[in-house]
Homo-oligomer: A and B are copies of this chain.
Amino acid sequence: MKNDIQQTLSDHNLKATDARKFLLETISIEKRPVDAQSLIEIMQKKLGVDRVTIFRILNTLTAHGILRRLEFQEGKARYEISSDDHHHLICENCGAIEDIPDTMVPKIEKEIARDHDFLIKRHTLEFFGLCKNCQKRVKFKD
């Protein structure tokens, strides 16, 4: 009996190496998208995996659509398990990230396809601002 992760990998004809399994487990557990550096720190301790391997795994899994690569204007990428389309509310003060479902964009995309004759394959929609808690604490809101 294969578990979810093993199954996912074998579905994509990817070898189920320790590094890949551990990386997928770690990302699954994290509630917010993680950057390569976090994974490197965790996996270097636990498994002795080289940083290069982690970048390679992230690329492979992203290419296979198992992971989704995100950019929050930090000069580095973050990754999350691919799941239903959703967006992120990113607090610029504490870094909290909340997921919100994607309800409007599919509609917009149809209009765009029609009006601009553009074939949309993917999109990114992120909101930056202050979460509930930080609104109380931060003085300069604008």
CA gap between A104 and B87 in the complex, in Å:
15
B123, A127: Cβ atoms under 8 Å?
yes
A112, B132: Cβ atoms under 8 Å?
no
Q: Give the interface residue-count category, chain A.
A: 35 or more
Residue A42, interface by CB 8 Å: no
B123, A125: Cβ atoms under 8 Å?
yes
CA gap between A86 and B100 in the complex, in Å:
21
Stretch at the interface among A10-18, A29-37, A45-53, A113-121: A113-121
Q: Which residues of A contact B (CB under 8 A)?
A: 69, 71, 73, 75, 77, 89, 91-92, 98, 100, 104-105, 107-109, 112, 116-132, 135, 141-142
